[in-house]
Structure 1
């Protein structure tokens, strides 16, 4: 079981020239942040887009296709034998590339069928629309916040079952068990990889806050 991971990004670029940089090099360079020493807001906005694309696609694959035919207005009426042979060959290669990078969609530890995935996408859109500025970062935070709350609930329920006072060693033992269960739940359900480190630190911080309170109560 793994957490839901945003889909891979496949960049389909149509070009006829073969000299210069490869399409993969072009995409890799386009996704890199550019310096903004003067604080230009437009450069900042573009850099934010680059960051969002980097979050949503840990692996950006670029693929190029040549023009299928010079008479573009008649493409819909043409058979494969009338198209540029290189285009037909590359199109079949593209199908293989797509098939090699797609994986079953996992959300909260289970695979989704088509209907369930559409429902999940609707939830994503609702979450985006609730934010002042729709962004990948805010979307991830919305989902992970709910998951963090569930993990904390698991931890608190474990400790609230104790009848205080208890020996500190016993409290520490229960804490470690509850902490392990909460982190295991988070590992199964968290959204994406990019924000997971920050979210797990928040979880640890909230759990750490509760331990001194329990120790204080059990000391009386």
Structure 2
């Protein structure tokens, strides 16, 4: 496989047609080596328009499809001075992308093996501003809050109030919300202490994040 040609095709044939037009995001996808975060057994899937299994797929252990990752990254519009929280580290690739854009990223992974592997890959990639924490992400990371941006790298039935309360005023949270067969990626912006604005980004389906109870609801 010609790695660089496959990377180019991923960007031009999958990601750009999905309305990912931010030059900074596209440039980042061209230089952050996605293949280094894919399990060796799944290397052939690194640049394909599909989710990549990381272990227990039933437990939501996948890399999201490249176009979904790219679109969520674009919509969060991370600035260099910002502090970010990711729920669901998985392979560590999304944390790497966030780390290139943010001041600091805390990323939470429930599975100990995945957390250790991601931490190693991020270290090898030179991402010194990303901290991997092996813990349940459903309650966020109150000790380090508030955050400028929060990303849920997987789906939830509803966004827990605990996570929304860890956003700064003006902060953004991106998540894939709903139940199969209908889920929608949403961008939620905190406008005030108890004021949130939700924008639907696109329809998609993604595995459920581990640790998120089905009854955890928050009404906007």
Q: Do both proteins adopt the same fold according to a TM-score greater than 0.5, normalized to the shorter chain?
A: no
- The TM-score bracket by the shorter chain reads under 0.3
Normalized against structure 2, the TM-score is what? 0.26
Larger Rg: 1
Bigger relative contact order (CA 8 A; separation at least 6) = 1
**Structure 1 or 2: larger helix share?**
1
